[in-house]
């Protein structure tokens, strides 16, 4: 689960999300919903995340907003 979390420290920081062992699964599920990939499909999720976050600050900011909303719902 969440094999890509180690690459997303900046995103979590920007979103004000502290990843812990107790909320990791919830965050992972929210990321899958935001990206539009079935839960537990880590390779496909990471592939799409890399496209979403590929050096474009506007896309990254949009993803951060969507992730925060998904976690609030």
Q: What is the pLDDT of residues 11-50, one digit of tens each?
A: 999 999 999 999 999 999 999 999 999 998 989 999 999 9
Do 1 and 40 meet the contact criterion of CB atoms below 8 Å apart?
yes
pTM of the model: 0.89
Sorted by where each begins, the domain ranges of the chain are 5-72
Q: What is the per-residue pLDDT across 58-67, written as a single tens digit (0 to 9) for each?
A: 989 999 999 9
Retrieve residue 72's tokens.
Answer: 């609030």
Q: How many CB atoms lie within 10 A of CB 39?
A: 13
């Amino acid at each position: 689960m969440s094999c890509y979390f180690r690459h997303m420290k900046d995103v979590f920081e920007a979103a004000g999300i502290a990843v812990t062992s107790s909320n990791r699964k919830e965050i992972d599920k929210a990321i899958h919903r935001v990206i539009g990939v079935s839960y537990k499909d880590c390779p496909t999720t990471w592939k799409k995340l890399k496209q979403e976050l590929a050096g474009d600050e506007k896309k990254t900011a949009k993803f951060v907003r969507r992730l925060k909303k998904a976690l609030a719902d």
